[in-house]
Amino acid sequence: MKRELICISCPIGCELTVVRNNDGTHSVHGNQCPKGEDYAREEINSPKRIVTTTVALESNVRLRVPVRTNKPLPVKQIQGILEELHSMKLKIPVRRGDPVLRDFQGTRVDVIASLSVGV
Ligand code: SF4
């Protein structure tokens, strides 16, 4: 099995090829530095993403505050964090950088406000 990836660890964006060997290990090609191999292995074994969404305000649920995780979250937990964030209502004022959710399910991933509202 062969998989093509773009390394997003720096602006160069090396085109990586990951090949599954007969013994179950993976070989990474196309990286210009060791970070590319680390990125490819993580992407194959445990992909993670920064999550961005919006959270409603308690005072007006039609207004929503943009939020994002402070670090990448395992892909398999994205649905769970979105459900929790979409059930929340924030009280104003909300300041940019304020944590709106801490240590989601023990992952040490926080969700922070991306915009100030009512400040
Ligand atoms: S492999 Fe290294 S040089 Fe290439 S994009 Fe990734 S971090 Fe940058």
Domain edges within the chain: 2-45, 52-113
Contact 29, 17 (CB under 8 A): yes
Chain center to CA of 48: 6
Which pair of tokens denotes residue 47? 């992909």
Residue 118: per-residue pLDDT:
85
Sheet of strand 15-20, all strands in order from the earlier edge strand to the far edge: 2-6, 15-20, 26-29
pLDDT given for residue 5 in this prediction: 96
Of 15, 16, 33, 42, the one to substitute when testing ligand 1's pocket (max ligand atoms within 8 A of C-beta) is 33
Whether domain 52-113 has CATH 3.40.50.1970: no
What pLDDT tens digit does each residue of the chain (119 aa) get?
A: 899 999 999 999 999 999 999 998 999 999 999 999 999 999 999 999 999 999 999 988 788 999 999 999 999 999 999 999 999 999 999 999 999 999 999 999 999 999 999 88
Provide φ and ψ at 87, rounded to 5°: -95, -5
Question: What is residue 67's predicted lDDT score, i.e. its pLDDT?
Answer: 98
- Ligand 1 pocket mutation, candidates 15, 17, 29, 35, criterion most atoms within 8 A of CB: 35
> What pLDDT, on the 0 to 100 scale, is given for residue 60?
81
Whole-number pLDDT of residue 1 = 81
pLDDT of residue 77: 97
pLDDT for position 56: 95
Does ligand 1 come within 6 angstroms of the Cβ of 65? no
CA 57, 61, 67: angle at the middle one, nearest 5?
A: 45
